[in-house]
Amino acid sequence: MPMDLRPTTLLLATMLALHATGVSAQRIQIPMDEDWTFHLSQDVERLSARRVDLPHTWNAQDALAGRIDYKRGIGNYEKVLHVPHEWQGKRIFLRFEGANSVADIFINGIHSGRHKGGYGAFVVEVTDKVAYGQDNTVLARVNNGENLEVMPLTGDFNFYGGLYRGVQVIVTPPACLSPLDHGSPGVRLMQDSVRHDFARVRAIVDVSNANDMARQAVLRLRLLDGDEEVLRKDTAIRMEQGAAQSHEIGFTLRDPHLWDGREDPFLYTVEVALLVNGAVSDAVRQKLGLRYFDIDPDRGFFLNGRHLRLKGVCRHQDRAERGNALLPAHHDEDAAIIADIGANAVRAAHYPQAERFYDLMDSLGIFVWAEIPFVGPGGYNGKGFVNTTEFKENGKEQLREMIRQHGNHPSICVWGLFNELTMTGDDPTDYVRELNDLAHAEDPTRPTTAASNCDGEINFITDLMAWNRYDGWYGGTPAQLGEWLDKTHAEHPQLRIGVSEYGAGASIYHQQDTLVKPAPVSWWHPENWQTHYHIESWREISSRPFVWGSFIWNLFDFGAAHRHEGDRPGINDKGLVTFDRKTKKDAYYFYKANWDETEPMLYLAGKRCTTRNKAMQQFMAFTNLPEAELIVNGQSQGKAKANSLCVVRWENVQLKPGENTIEVRGKDGKTRLEDSYRCTLQAK
């Protein structure tokens, strides 16, 4: 049914808004996610539209079925918005958190705004375009078609179309904290100096006055620790008629409680209120996590003065049956899995992700590599850069949006500028320099980085650098990763080196009892090779302290319609967890044993290999215990020590014909851990 904000509902919405801000503000924020009508542009018959709720994509079926011709064009989303009389004299904004990739907004049939870029939020003011006391129509025409003016041009992932994130109505007084600065919250927090005993922060506050005269006002900043006010600062300002202005409010704090990653992800709250005639006119709250970090070319990453190896995973924002139209519960589940494996960093590939995900990373103490969708073709045909004014300006705009929208998140430690660009044709090197300068101008507190798979000058522009390496999957062996790292570090001793991607494909349905390397582009991706690959790759990475961070590609299988490999088309199966998040592959538990120090664990690898062809077998377990014992068919095969990679192996174990029971046991004090499965030895 159409959204109908009658007085009772309006009162409820207002009360909820006041409760959310914790002050007597007049801002109202109401979700608009339910009851849209949708049709693709080619469906021109009047009754072709159907009801949908947001988030929504029209590519959840065709792209994930491996159709390389999945629908890329225009989808139309329409909704009725009732605007009460009570809103007259206020300002009304619509905030779209994500529309891929070009969105045109119409109010009552009148074009009211356009946004180019599929992964950032944008805000359209509709104050003068709506009819008060009446139903109004909101139409979003969203186009995910190929467009040489908009990043990304290519990529090894699906370009799902739709309103795949939420939409909000925001109602404010005429004088307000402006939501119009590149979709930012209107309050940006710059951590100019942070140490254990001192912090200096600048709040950059955007205000806007739609009144017909100038106003004297006060900006009140409060720093809160829970409900306790730590400090308050009032700043008198003059709001010019019809003008948008920025004001800076600086404050200092002695002996701050630091945001300390997974050890202690403590968050203050900064509340900025706009007071007109002594009353709160508008207010915004933002979380603040005070921290400092350094990256040394030889010793790696340091958080708040102590060394911290960044043990990271990459995450694409999509999943089975949903595409990229994720619900809050999906972000929550992904965050819980990232925490469970013991990771302390995540690369949000290859685009800005949902606000909720960054909030979760803040609260869990997990560092984030956030990046714009400046993506090259990888191993495929295509071009990630065209040297046109329109494309370059769009990339800069997406970079500004990302930094201004998400810069308050303490979890974000680096801004990523590109992934796997090529130098053939239009050379992006000079443009990357422009992006690097822009990132530093927008945020002088964070370093820049990039993910490369080529040689050349482009690798020496950003503050940090990382490479996508697949030694042992696309040719070579994992040992060659270590050789390459040592060579690069020796040749460029001042370069701060990371590993932005490493991984291998695996299907939980592809099992073998011998270790044989598969062809990456084949339909056979055995799980045990992925496990072997990650054991050996982590051996190389973990033994080199100069690597500032490493990021597994990928934590989850993800959609890539053009792929034809593994157990089905349309899926990149390099994830440590299946696309539906239901099954964690063996390599997942290898990393959990190495990374998760919060609880003892013991996992028996190879349990999906239920049919065996050889009588003499090797068995392997992952554990953070000192040792484990293997029992086969009730008979102990002895205890074995875990090596430095938390791997326990038993060689030359005899199976009997038919069914065999395999068990592994270990103890952590009085706590007994065990794991088991059954397998069958085939008769010859």
Instruction: Give the span between the Cα atoms of 230 and 457, in whole angstroms.
Output: 48
Instruction: Give the H or E element holding residue 659.
Output: strand 658-668
3-state secondary structure of 237: strand
Q: What angle do CA 261, 266, 270 make, to 5 degrees?
A: 125
CB of 653 closer than 8 Å to CB of 636:
no
* Cα dihedral sign, 162-102-119-34: negative
CB of 106 closer than 8 Å to CB of 601:
no
CB of 451 closer than 8 Å to CB of 407:
no
Tell me how crowded residue 670 is: count the other CB atoms within 10 A of its CB.
5
Instruction: Give the span between the Cα atoms of 213 and 134, in whole angstroms.
Output: 29
Catalytic, 491? Answer no
- Measured CA to CA in angstroms, residue 97 lies from 33, 121, 330 at distances of 11, 4, 16
What are the helix (H) ranges across 320-454? Answer: 328-341, 355-364, 389-406, 429-442
CB of 373 closer than 8 Å to CB of 350:
yes
Tell me how crowded residue 520 is: count the other CB atoms within 10 A of its CB.
16
Nearest to 25 by CA among 350, 327, 312, 274: 274
CB of 498 closer than 8 Å to CB of 465:
yes
- Measured CA to CA in angstroms, residue 565 lies from 219, 511, 597, 672 at distances of 58, 15, 36, 41
What are the E-state strand segments in 64-133? 74-83, 91-96, 102-107, 110-116, 122-125
3-state secondary structure of 7: helix
- Measured CA to CA in angstroms, residue 519 lies from 259, 469, 472 at distances of 45, 17, 11
The dihedral over CA atoms of 103, 104, 108, 109, expressed in degrees to the nearest 10, equals: -130
CB of 218 closer than 8 Å to CB of 235:
yes
Instruction: Give the span between the Cα atoms of 318 and 482, in whole angstroms.
Output: 32
Instruction: Give the span between the Cα atoms of 642 and 622, in whole angstroms.
Output: 8
Instruction: Give the span between the Cα atoms of 355 and 231, in whole angstroms.
Output: 27
Name the DSSP letter for residue 263.
G
Nearest to 297 by CA among 460, 468, 483: 460
* Burial class of residue 638, CB neighbours in 10 A (0-12, 13-18, 19+): exposed
Q: Is 310 left (phi over 0), alpha (psi -120 to 50) or beta?
A: beta
Selected catalytic residue, list 271, 401, 420, 565: 420
| Residues catalogued as catalytic | 420
